[in-house]
Structures are given as structure tokens and as C-alpha cells.
Amino acid sequence: MRVLIVEDDLELARQLKETLMDAGYAVDHAPDGEEGHFLGDTESYDAIVLDLGLPVMDGVSVLEKWRADGHMIPVLILTARDTWSEKVAGLDAGADDYLTKPFKTEELLARVRALIRRSAGHASPELVCGPVHLDTRNGKVTVDGNPVRLTAQEFKLLSYLMHHQGEVISRTELTEHIYDQDFDRDSNTIEVFVNRVRKKLAVDIIETVRGLGYRLDVP
């Protein structure tokens, strides 16, 4: 899963990026509203963390432009001021949730997880496909109750497929959602990761749809 942070406080942005990466996300960062708008407009993200008090272009304007252009990416806004008017302005501009600075990183992670789950149509923090269970809260994967150890990239791939069960996901889409902007992306490696995940799960739930991509479903 891939997240964009739009935050001009570089130290806070660094902390947020490290926290999200440690939680298994691919993360990009934009230091101002203009760059943030461009990335949100041209790249594929599963969620965006957006500060409202940004240079060049403020967060509300960025969000309004995304929504006007039809981008439905879940957005969590950050605000330094605990005022109802700022929260209302962000929510009315199209935000899905908000956090007031300062905040606990655990809460931010929980809210990001919830946004991504809800946008994919899941209410529970535990995703289930047949005997495979993936707990989004702690990153644990089990098959018939037995733990399965995955690498970071394997987990990202399985997590994305689990969030989008029943959908045909192309190699390109998987590549866009498990790598950050600076990574040397190669969609050919997706097949390698899929084969590794299949072998580790040892259950036939990842279907290859010839010429289109992959679909996660219970056989």
C-alpha cells in the first residue's frame, strides 16, 4: 500500500515517513502544496496525509482541486490548530478524516489503516480470504491459524490483493502501489513476488488472469 505525505515541517515529515515505512507502507513526501497536488494528480496512492498549513498552495485548495478533478483517494488532514472552523473547512473540501497536531503516531497509523480499509469496502481490521487471514493492525498473516512470514514487499503485495479481493489487478497497478516514487520499478518482479507468496501461503487463492493480471479469490 502506498501513502503520500504532504507536510512542510521536514522533521515531522521524516518521522511520519519512517513510521509509515516501518508499518509496511511505500511512502512519498511533498514539502509544499504545489508539489503535493502534482503527485496526488499524477501518481497512484491508497491514502494521503495532508497538512492544511502549506506553503505555495494551502491544503484546502489542494484538496478542492483533487476532488474537482475526480480523485477519490482517501485523505487525512493535519491541522496545527484545534478549531472547529478549520476542521469543517477541510471536511467540506473533501477530507475523509482529520488529526490535530500534536498527535500520537499510533493514532495516525490507525486512522490511515481505517481509511484504506473503508475505501476498499472493508469494515474489519482483519482481512480474510478462505484460510488466509491478514491483520492490518500488526501486519501478521496466518493460514489456518499458522503464522506465515513474508518479506516487506511480499506483504505489501498480499495486502493490496487482500484489500481488493475479487478484482483483477494488473502488474502495473501492483507496481504502482507497492513501490514509492524513487524506487526503480520493474513490473517483471511482480511475478517473482506472486510466486513467492503463493509458495509461502501454500493455498490456491491467487489466480493468474492471462493477459490482465492477478485476482485473489477463494477457489
Q: How far is CA 211 from CA 130, 169, 187, 194, in A?
A: 25, 11, 14, 15
Please state, in angstroms and rounded to a whole number, the distance separating the CA atoms of residues 217 and 202.
Answer: 14
Answer whether 119's CB lies under 8 Å from 113's CB: no
How far is Cα 173 from Cα 160, in angstroms, rounded to an integer?
Answer: 10
H/E stretch holding 200 reads helix 188-201
Task: Give the DSSP letter of residue 56.
Answer: S
Read off the pLDDT of residues 105-141 as tens digits, 9 standing for 90 and up: 999 999 999 999 999 888 889 999 999 999 999 999 9
Would the pTM count as exceeding 0.95?
no
The pLDDT tens digits of the residues spanning 164-175 come to 999 999 999 999
Mean pLDDT, the chain, integer: 92
Which set of grid coordinates corresponds to residue 96? 475523509
Instruction: Pick the closest to residue 183 from 150, 219, 153 (CA basis).
Output: 153
The angle subtended at Cα 51 by Cα 48 and Cα 53, nearest 5°, is: 155
Q: What are phi and psi of 62, to 5 degrees?
A: -60, -50
Asked whether residue 183 carries a pLDDT value surpassing 70, the answer given is no
Q: Are 214 and 194 in contact (CB under 8 A)?
A: yes
* 61 backbone dihedrals φ, ψ, rounded to 5°: -65, -40
Going by pLDDT thresholds of 50, 70 and 90, the confidence category of residue 23 is: very high
Which class in CATH covers the domain with range 126-216? mainly alpha
Q: Tens digit of pLDDT for each residue in 83-93?
A: 778 888 899 99
Q: Where are the domains of the chain?
A: 2-119, 126-216
- Give the dihedral sign, CA 14/15/16/19: positive
Please, are residues 171 and 187 in contact by the beta-carbon 8 Å criterion?
yes
- Model confidence band, residue 219 (pLDDT cutoffs 50, 70, 90): low
| Fold agreement between 2-119 and 126-216 | no
CATH fold, domain 2-119, is: Rossmann fold (3.40.50)
